[in-house]
Each structure stands twice: as C-alpha cells, then as structure tokens.
Chains A and B, each alone.
Chain A
Amino acid sequence: MVLVFAESPRGQIKKTAFEAVTYGKKVADQLGTSCVAVVLGTNAANAGELGKYGASKVLQVADAALNDFDSQTYTAVLADVAKQQGAKVVVLCHTSTGKAIAGRLSVRLGAGLVSGVNSLPETGTFSVRKSVFSGKAIVDYSIKSDVKIVSLMGNAVRPDASGSPVSIENISVSVPAGRIRVKSVKTQEGTVPLPEAEIVVSAGRGMKEPTNWGIVEDLANTLGATTACSRPVADSGWRPHHEHVGQTGIAIRPNLYIAIGISGAIQHLAGVNNSKVIVVINKDAEAPFFKAADYGVVGDLFEVVPRLTEAIKKFKAAH
C-alpha cells in the first residue's frame, strides 16, 4: 500500500497534496497496490476530494492536538498509521511541513528516504531522481529498505482529478503531547505562495525605483502569477523579503518564470533554474541571465512589460 500524507495547512488541502496523491496513485499502480491518503487534525473540509486524485481511501486522525504543526507528534502519528496500514511506500510533499517530517519519519521507521524527488520510481530498483547542486546536476538514488519514503517536489507532477471523491474514514491513533506551542501564523492572503505558483513574475534592480512596480503587478495579475524579486531588491527594502527568490531566498520551480530587469547572478539562478520555461526581459543583451533563458527580449522594460501585459490580455480575450 502507498500511503500519502495529504497536508492541510490552516485547514485546507492544497495543490501540493493533490500532486502527492496523483503521484502516490501512479506509484501504487506500478506496484499493483492501492493508494491511501491520510489527513491529520480536525480541519480538512475538502479531504474527500483526494479520491478524485487517486486515493482509494482517505483516513483522518481527527484530533485537535494535530491542528498545529509539530514535527515530533506528526511523525509519531504518521509512523503509527504507516505501520497499522502496512504501508510499503510513504509519500510526503517537499514543503515546510514535509521537510520537517521526512527525516524524522525515516529514522523512526528505519526506512530509506529520498527528499525532493521529481520522477516516478523505476520499477524493480525503486530508483528515484532529484535535482541537486542547486539545479546544476541530477542524481538517481535507489531505496533499498522494505519501507520507502519519498517527498515530492512541488510542480513535478500535474494533479490529475479524473477519479471520484471518497468518504472519509476516521481512524484512532494515540497522539503524544507536543512540545512546540504555535502562537500565531502570519501569511499573505489572496496570493498563491511562491513555492506553489505555476507562473512567477520577478523583477530586479532594473526597475530603478520601488514605485515603478505597478507594471510588474499588472503583468502578474493578468497572468494570474505570483510576484517575486531578486536579492538586492529585497535587501534594499523595495520589496518584502518573502518575495526574494534565489539561493538564500526561496527556491522555486514554476512552469513559467518571467525575469524583468534581473541580470542573472549565479546565486539568483540557483533558486530559479529548475523553472520549466524562463523568459528574460533586459535592456542589456550581455546580461548573463539570457544564457539560462528559453525566450529573451532585449529592450527597455518600461516599454516591453506593459506591451506584454496588453498582448496577454488580448490572448486571454481570444481564448
């Protein structure tokens, strides 16, 4: 059985978990077994939807002590569920939650772990692939233990909702007392968080002034994209730190990354070079970013960006 931990941050199961269940279902098909999802805590109103993505069952440990995240209690509960259900493969999301659990769970279950995978396992060897050296290399690992754990990189699998919803089955697992006390959670409302965004529009020092960001926001809104920025822009306070993508900021892998007025320093590329398609807009034809780009526009961003926004509006109206 393939067990997928469908995380429900702040009571909502999101795209990353749908991706993980889609992936878990494919692994289960390879192994000729079923895919079961588990949700923790009392708030997961949309858990039944996991059936659409391939879960044959959705289990819930409906204990309010699990509504706040603590890697220690989550690990203990997930390990018990995995043992109780006889899981051979455990799939987690490679998110802030998944990263804090994956290593713990591997120790607790004595199971081999590969984190941040972006491929299905090879049948037989259970070899999985991930990106390493900040996107500069790829590695294949084989997991040899009886129980195997992988955490799935965001945007590596397209969620497939072709199945039907299932009902939720409550299971009883003892929940140890947590030692972490969550006081508050502050999130940006109304925008897709950067690690989950399919399209990211990012801008750098070429914008000249923080007051010039309107054209970037217009383009992002038109595309339904999340905005990001380079490190110098975040460090000088032009944009909030949570928008900083790159090696010290957030590493992302959207389907489309549009870089505006960013030269493409290697530390920036390290955080974005796993994007599927990269568009670079820069007036300097020698900007190193063009070497990493799929499409490039050499021109004045203050003219090119509004023009691109108009072209996308026209395209959206016609499609």
Chain B
Amino acid sequence: MKILVCISQTPDTTSKISFSADGRTFNEAGVQFIMNPYDEWYALVRACELRESLGGSVTALNVGPAANETTIRKALAIGADEAVRIDAVPPSSAFVAKQIASFAKDHGFDMILLGKETIDYNGSEVGAMVSEHLDLPYVSYASKLDLNGNTATIEREIEGGVEILEVDLPFVASAAKGMAEQRIPNMRGIMSARTKPLNVVAPVPFEDQVETLKFTLPPAKAGVKLVNPEDMDELVRLLHEEAKAI
C-alpha cells in the first residue's frame, strides 16, 4: 500500500491576520505556522494507521519553501516514512495541484489523501484538481475510510447527513473530522524524523488563470449592543427592525 499525503502549512488559527499596505502580501512576521489540521489530524494519521495494518509506505508531500521543513519533519515524526518538498512558494491552489499531480503521476500511489480544505484559503480545490489531472476518482469530505482488499468503503459528509460509497484503488480522498484521531508525535518519532529522507524536487512550470488582486480585513464589528435580560421583547424588536434578521 503506497499512500501519498499532501500537507499544507497554514497560520495557526489563533494568529492575527494582516497584510502589506498595498494588500498584496500576507504579513508573516510574528505568525505561528502549523500543519493544516485536516491534513495532519485526519489524512496523515489515517494513512499511518492503514500502513501499520497493511504494510507499505506513507509519503508526505508539501509544496513550499525550505522554511516549511519544520512542518514536514513533524509529518515524519507523526509517522510518514519519507517526505518530498516541491521547492516553490505556491501562488495558488491550481499551482499546488499541478505540482502534486506532476509528482504523483510516475509514482504509482494507491491512494492520495489530503485535508478537506486548508484553514487559510478555505477553497477545497486542490483534491479535486489533482484527481482530474490524474484521471482518478475523488471522494471529498471523507469522515470514515476502511479498506478491504482493493476496495475502500468511505463515508462522505453531505449536507445534513452522510453518503456511504465504495471505490476501488487508486483514488484521491479529502479527509474530515472522524477519519482518525489526532496523534502527538512521541520522542522516538521525533528522533527518527531527523534521519528519514526529505527529498527536494523542482517545480514544473504552470500558468495561473487567477490573479490575486488584494487582501482586505473585514469591517470591524460596531460592537455588541447589550439587551436587558428581562426584556426579550426589545431583542425581538431589534432583530426585526434594526437587524432585519427575523
């Protein structure tokens, strides 16, 4: 079983988000970066579990600059056998997908896993793009994934419920809560991560069809209007007349 897990590096949820004055670039100063939680907690851990029960290997792949290697080493500490970094500062999800697909196409992976979305750009685009580049089935928002021989049974989150489906290897799936439980790397994992292979690969050329024009911060909230707990008629009036929410 050869599994590829695509990991992204994102600002920690609690980070303060700010941009350069022209709104073109994200200010990285003082920001704590982490592995995208859906990639780490669900996709990577489930890949390691499958490898532990079925044998094979888990490759973690990141498209990013050398500064991302701390995050990549964490993936190795959690349990990936080897890692690949495609050396680029990715300008878009389409770029990332192209790089992943270009790397994966000659490596015969049985399964490609990644998180349901990243917590920075929230696009949920990469998995679908990779699948199309590779002409593979794609299951998004998988909250449960079991393998029986060559066939996976997957629960996929849909609006107001789940869909249960079967798909044969190879395929691409994006992972949601429920697929696995977060693992904290232990000392042995951290030590062995230092010596596991981390290969750096040059990116392939790609022409973007989407240009980032400008980042802005949402308008600040006007501040909370407190309503007397004894007077819920007043809250209803405000919700109707002022907020027009009911």
* Contacting pair A296 B213 (CB below 8 A): no
Tell me which of B129, B136, B137, B214 contacts A106 (CB under 8 A): B129
Q: Is A123 an interface residue (CB 8 A)?
A: no
Complex Cα–Cα for A308 and B229 (A): 9
Name A's interface SS. mixed
* Contacting pair A95 B159 (CB below 8 A): yes
Distance (Å) between the CB of B46 and the closest chain A CB? 15
Q: Give the nearest-CB partner of B214 in chain A.
A: A140
Tell me which of A104, A139, A180 contacts B215 (CB under 8 A): A139
Q: Is A108 an interface residue (CB 8 A)?
A: yes
Complex Cα–Cα for A18 and B232 (A): 34
Complex Cα–Cα for A199 and B243 (A): 13
* Contacting pair A298 B226 (CB below 8 A): yes
Tell me which of A103, A132, A141, A280 contacts B126 (CB under 8 A): A103
Interface size, chain A (Cβ < 8 Å): 99
User: A137 and B216 in contact (CB under 8 A), knowing A180-B137, A304-B232?
Assistant: yes
* Contacting pair B236 A315 (CB below 8 A): yes
- Mask for B193-213, Cβ within 8 A of A = 1, else 0? 000000000000000111111
Q: Is A30 an interface residue (CB 8 A)?
A: no
How many contacts between A and B, using CB within 8 angstroms? Answer: 269
Tell me which of A248, A293, A300 contacts B37 (CB under 8 A): A248
- Mask for A202-221, Cβ within 8 A of B = 1, else 0? 00000000000000000000
User: A185 and B119 in contact (CB under 8 A), knowing A102-B128, A297-B227, A297-B229?
Assistant: no
* Contacting pair A247 B167 (CB below 8 A): no
* Contacting pair B140 A276 (CB below 8 A): no
* Contacting pair B229 A304 (CB below 8 A): yes
- Mask for B166-179, Cβ within 8 A of A = 1, else 0? 11100100000110
Most buried by A among B166, B232, B233: B232
Distance (Å) between the CB of A99 and the closest chain B CB? 4
Distance (Å) between the CB of A100 and the closest chain B CB? 4
Q: Is A70 an interface residue (CB 8 A)?
A: yes
* Contacting pair A96 B141 (CB below 8 A): yes
Q: Is B187 an interface residue (CB 8 A)?
A: no
Complex Cα–Cα for A71 and B132 (A): 9
Q: Is A26 an interface residue (CB 8 A)?
A: no
Interface size, chain B (Cβ < 8 Å): 78
Q: Is A196 an interface residue (CB 8 A)?
A: yes
Q: Is B165 an interface residue (CB 8 A)?
A: yes
User: A96 and B156 in contact (CB under 8 A), knowing A104-B138, A132-B120, A133-B17?
Assistant: yes
User: A104 and B212 in contact (CB under 8 A), knowing A9-B158, A137-B17, A137-B19?
Assistant: no
CB under 8 Å from chain B, chain A span 101-155: 101-108, 110-116, 125, 127, 130-145
Which residues in B have their C-beta under 8 angstroms from that of A139?
A: 212-216
* Contacting pair A296 B226 (CB below 8 A): yes
Q: Give the nearest-CB partner of A196 in chain B.
A: B159
User: A295 and B238 in contact (CB under 8 A), knowing A103-B126, A103-B129, A143-B210?
Assistant: yes
Which residues in A have their C-beta under 8 angstroms from that of B165?
A: 180-183
Binds A, one of B61-69, B70-78, B217-225: B217-225
CB under 8 Å from chain A, chain B span 36-87: 37-38
* Contacting pair B164 A131 (CB below 8 A): no
Q: Is B147 an interface residue (CB 8 A)?
A: no
Q: Give the nearest-CB partner of A98 in chain B.
A: B124
Binds B, one of A58-66, A160-168, A187-195: A187-195
User: A127 and B213 in contact (CB under 8 A), knowing A242-B160, A291-B224?
Assistant: yes
Which residues in B have their C-beta under 8 angstroms from that of A56?
A: none
Distance (Å) between the CB of B12 and the closest chain A CB? 10
Tell me which of A113, A247, A300 contacts B13 (CB under 8 A): A247
Q: Is A279 an interface residue (CB 8 A)?
A: yes
* Contacting pair A247 B164 (CB below 8 A): no
* Contacting pair B225 A100 (CB below 8 A): no
Q: Is B94 an interface residue (CB 8 A)?
A: yes
Q: Give the nearest-CB partner of B127 in chain A.
A: A103
- Mask for B23-35, Cβ within 8 A of A = 1, else 0? 0000000000000
- Mask for A72-112, Cβ within 8 A of B = 1, else 0? 10010000000000000000000111011111111110111
Binding site for B on A (CB under 8 A): 9, 69-72, 75, 95-97, 99-108, 110-116, 125, 127, 130-145, 179-188, 191-196, 199, 223, 241-242, 244, 247-249, 251, 255-256, 266-267, 270, 276-277, 279-280, 290-300, 303-304, 307-308, 310-312, 314-315, 319
Beyond A186-B161, A187-B158, A304-B229: 10 further Cβ-contacts under 8 Å? A99-B124, A112-B208, A112-B209, A115-B125, A140-B216, A256-B245, A277-B245, A279-B239, A298-B229, A307-B232
Binding site for A on B (CB under 8 A): 11, 13-14, 17, 19, 37-38, 93-94, 97, 119-133, 135-141, 153, 156-168, 171, 177-178, 208-218, 221-222, 224-227, 229-230, 232-233, 235-236, 238-240, 243, 245-246
